[in-house]
Chains A and B, each alone.
Chain A
Amino acid sequence: MGNFLFPVAVFFAAIFTDNILLTNYLGMCSFLAVSKELETSAGLGIAVTFVLAVTTPLNWAVYYLVLVPFQLEYLRFIVFIIIIAAFVQLIEMVIERYSENLYFSLGIFLPLITVNCAILGASLFMVIREYSFITSFFFGLGSGIGWFIAIMAMAGIRNKLRGAKIPIGLEGAGIALIIAGFMAMAFMGFSGMIQIT
C-alpha cells in the first residue's frame, strides 16, 4: 500500500510542503521577472507545468533505458538539457503551426523555459531520489503546479501592492523577495499534512 500511495504523496509534497520554488529557490529568475502581471504569470505557469510534466518522465526514460545500461550516467547533465531544449523547440513549432491564439498567449514564454532552473532541477532531483517512472511523472506535474500556484499568488500580491508606498531601495526585486519569504513561511505551515512513511 505504501508503494501504491507514494507517487500521490510525492505529488502533494511537491505542490505544498516542498514547493520547488519556495523551498529550493528553483526558477527564481523568471519568477521575479514575470510575476508583475497576472495574465503573463498564468501563461508562464501553465507552460512550465506542461513542460515539467512531460520532460521529467521523458528524462527518466532516457536515463534508465539509455544512459544507465551504457554506463554513461555522468553525461546526464548534457543529455537532460538537450532533451529539454529540443522538447521546448518542438512544442513551439507545433503550437505555431496549429494554433495561432495559443502561440501568442503561450508561445512567447517557451524560450524562457529552457533556462528555467526548475525544469532541469526536477529531472536532477528525480535521478538523485531514485523515483520510479510513475513517481517521476507525478513529481514533475506536482512541481509544475506548485510553481504555478506560487507565481500566481505572487502576481496577485504584487498587483495589490501597486499603490502602496515602498522604501525606494526595496522597490522591484527587494519587495518581491520579502513576499516570497513570507510565502515560503506560509507554505511551511502545510508540513505535517503529508506523511511519506
Chain B
Amino acid sequence: MKSQTFYTKRIKPLVFMAVVTIICIVLTSSLYLLTRERVAMNELFFMRRSILDAAGVEHSGDVEGVNSLYESVVKEVGEVYVVGGNTYVKLFKGPGLWGEITILVGFEEDLKTITGVSVFAQNETPGLGARIEEPWFSQQFRGKEGPFSLVEEGTAAAKSEMDAITGATRTSDAFKNIMNRAISESATLKGGQ
C-alpha cells in the first residue's frame, strides 16, 4: 500500500512527464528533418528571386522559372551579383526600427541609376514598417539616383525623393539610410567588392 502511494505520487508523474516530453520531441524533430530540405530550397529561392527583382529582370515567379533564369543570367563575382553582364546587385544591411533590414540594390552600368530594390529580410511592425516589402514601395526606386530624402507617402516624384510610409516614420528613415549608404558605395561594385 505504502509503495503504491509512493509510486503514484512520485514515480508516475516523473515517468509520465518524461514519456510525454520524448514523444513531443520525437514528433517535432522528425517533422523538422522531413521539411529541412524544403526550407533550405525556399531560402535559396527567395535569395535568387530577390536578386532578379533588384536587377529589374522579369521572371515567372515560380521556383523552376526563377532557378533556371537565375542560372542563365547571373554571375557571382565576389560579393556582387552581375545580372545579364551589365547590372550590378549587392546585399546591404542596416539597423531598422527593431532589427536588421537586409536589402538587395541593383545598379545599371553607370553605377548610379537604380534598377530596383528588394527586401530580403526585415523585422518591422506588421502592417506598418513591414510594408517596405510591398511592391509599390520597392518599385519606386527604379530609375532613380539618390541620395534620397523622404517625402509624404504617394508624393515622391523627383529622382532624389522617396515615399515614406505613413505611420512608420522610423522604418522609412532607416530604409533611407541604408539606401543612401548603398548609393555612396556603388562606385566600387565593378571590382566585385
Contacts and interface: CB of A to CB of B under 8 A. Distances in A.
Nearest to A126: B99
Interface residues on B, range: 10 to 19
A contact face: mostly helix, strand, loop, or mixed: loop
B119 to A, nearest CB: 16
Nearest to A78: B24
Nearest to B97: A196
Interface in A103-131: 125, 128-131
Given A75-B25, A78-B24, A129 B98 contact: yes
B173 interface: yes
Contact of B100 (A13, A130, A194): A130
A99 B80 CA distance: 63
A129 B122 CA distance: 9
Contacts of B72: none
A197 B95 contact: yes
A129 B173 contact: no
A23 to B, nearest CB: 7
A130 B98 CA distance: 9
B177 A74 contact: no
A30 to B, nearest CB: 23
Interface of A: 2, 6, 13, 17-18, 23, 74-75, 78, 125, 128-131, 191-192, 194-197
